[in-house]
Amino acid sequence: MTVSTIEAIYAEVLRRNPAEKEFHQAVREVLESLEPVLARHPEYTELKTVQRICEPERQIIFRVPWADDRGEVQINRGFRVEFNSALGPYKGGLRFHPSVYLGIIKFLGFEQVFKNALTGMPIGGGKGGSDFDPKGRSDAEIMRFCQSFMTELYRHLGEYTDVPAGDIGVGGREIGYLFGQYKRITNRYESGVLTGKGLGWGGARVRTEATGYGAAFFAEEMLAARGSSLDGQTVVVSGSGNVAIYAIEKVTQLGGRAIACSDSSGYVVDERGLDLDLLKQIKEVERGRLSEYTERVRHARHVTGGSVWDVPCTVAVPSATQNELDGEAAQTLLRNGLVAVSEGANMPSTPEAVKLFLAAGIAYGPGKAANAGGVATSALEMQQNASRDRWTFEHTEARLRDIMRDVHASCAAAAEEYGDPGNLVLGANITGFVRVADAMHAHGLV
């Protein structure tokens, strides 16, 4: 397959999916990696494997009506894109954020297909969510929204069909309400239908921590391959949600000094190292804003607006949202002595930023590899649900660490095999693609 064929496939994706710029970006990044693998495997071209992978197996869009605390009717839109089931049931989170539309869900679902393949676990790829904005909503409103959302979604789910989890705006509380409604409608205690459940009712230890921990483990693997480690590194993490908090925790345990994190209003810098207990109290317990950190830690400073990437560091762990780290931020980071980026978020670096990181030869771990620990641990949760078993924290964390080591090793080996050692973007895309493509071929034209 030639470059012009890949361009033709991309042009077709643009034509068939108009105005979905995040989806276009995610597809382009994968297609750019595939030329060498397609040159070696003519069957992928003959069977139009790339074109088939770019087309979701099923897309569901639905109305989510609910009443707010004043009794006013609200209407949101729900989505579930069941992208690819070659390796197992569709698996991927739900995002509740006002920016959500089909293009965001499709980009996330597409990434998820390759990420899940990279974990080596038997899971396909999907993603869902809603344009619902949970900010400022009461518990009762969140519950009513989740119940209405699940009242449509339940018919598309099942432990062997489609297994959602959390993402931005969907954490343990929301998974609880969603599971309760699923159980009520179906009259089945089907633990394996959702992951990220509470520890008292089918959840797995380490699932809450898994994405952030995994991103830290991935950074450690990348640095080890270069004869270095996280020990003594100065780390900046964007976001202050689930992924960010546990990335900070693990980075710190591995000897790094995490000095800054952010939310959508600004960022906090604490040169003595972020106080994790306080962060958890503000974000997880009080559901407050990050600016409250400096009210309690006088030596720290809060910057409203601005970019957290202006804070000098040697390791960056972007853990907020897509396209939050652009070319200008990448230049600033590189000027300040950056040696590694491990992406906790999905597609947080713009294409320009990725090019700059690769050209500079620093260790760059793309999200579909570096944040795969979350979904991998979700698969471990499904495994425990299926066997009615419950593992210890230590055992589960050891499995997570092994999986992250394996993800890194597979990506590094593919990068080497295809002639660009150290390029983990190439390595991740090729490894994920080949695993999914080969399973699709085995299943015939379905």
Nearest to 163 by CA among 139, 185, 196: 196
* Neighbour count for residue 439 (Cβ, 10 Å): 17
Nearest distance, CB of residue 346 and ligand NDP, angstroms:
4
Give the whole-angstrom CA distance, residue 106 versus residue 93.
12
* From 195, 242, 384, 429, residue interacting with ligand NDP (rule: CB under 6 A): 242
Residue nearest to ligand NDP (CB): 241
Query: Considering the rule CB under 6 A, would residue 109 count as an interface residue with ligand NDP?
Result: no
Helix (H) or strand (E) holding 13: helix 3-16
- The two structure tokens encoding residue 313: 């560091």
Residue placing its CB nearer to ligand NDP in the complex, 23 or 44:
23
Of residues 368 through 387, those in contact with ligand NDP by CB under 6 A are 371, 374
Residue placing its CB nearer to ligand NDP in the complex, 347 or 412:
347
* From 241, 256, 365, 366, residue interacting with ligand NDP (rule: CB under 6 A): 241
* From 320, 325, 382, 404, residue interacting with ligand NDP (rule: CB under 6 A): 320
Only one of the segments 72-80, 234-242, 405-413, 432-440 lies at the binding site for ligand NDP (rule: CB under 6 A); that segment is 234-242
* Neighbour count for residue 21 (Cβ, 10 Å): 14
* Neighbour count for residue 122 (Cβ, 10 Å): 14
Nearest distance, CB of residue 261 and ligand NDP, angstroms:
8
Query: Considering the rule CB under 6 A, would residue 128 count as an interface residue with ligand NDP?
Result: no
Query: Considering the rule CB under 6 A, would residue 92 count as an interface residue with ligand NDP?
Result: no
Query: Considering the rule CB under 6 A, would residue 162 count as an interface residue with ligand NDP?
Result: no
Of residues 188 through 217, those in contact with ligand NDP by CB under 6 A are 211
Q: Where are the alpha helices (DSSP H) in 187-310?
A: 207-225, 242-253, 276-280, 292-296
Q: Is 127 a catalytic residue?
A: yes
Query: Considering the rule CB under 6 A, would residue 336 count as an interface residue with ligand NDP?
Result: no
Nearest distance, CB of residue 114 and ligand NDP, angstroms:
13
| CB neighbour list of residue 72: distance below 8 Å, 6 or more residues apart | none
Question: How distant, in Å, are the alpha carbons of 23, 135, 201, 240 from that of 267?
Answer: 28, 18, 35, 9
Nearest to 269 by CA among 233, 231, 221, 235: 235
| CB neighbour list of residue 136: distance below 8 Å, 6 or more residues apart | none
Residue placing its CB nearer to ligand NDP in the complex, 168 or 338:
168
CB 193 within 8 A of CB 295: no
Nearest distance, CB of residue 181 and ligand NDP, angstroms:
21
* From 346, 410, 423, 429, residue interacting with ligand NDP (rule: CB under 6 A): 346
Query: Considering the rule CB under 6 A, would residue 166 count as an interface residue with ligand NDP?
Result: yes
CB 301 within 8 A of CB 267: no
Residues involved in catalysis = 127
Q: Which residues bind ligand NDP (CB under 6 A)?
A: 166-169, 171, 211, 239-244, 263-265, 319-321, 324, 344-346, 371, 374
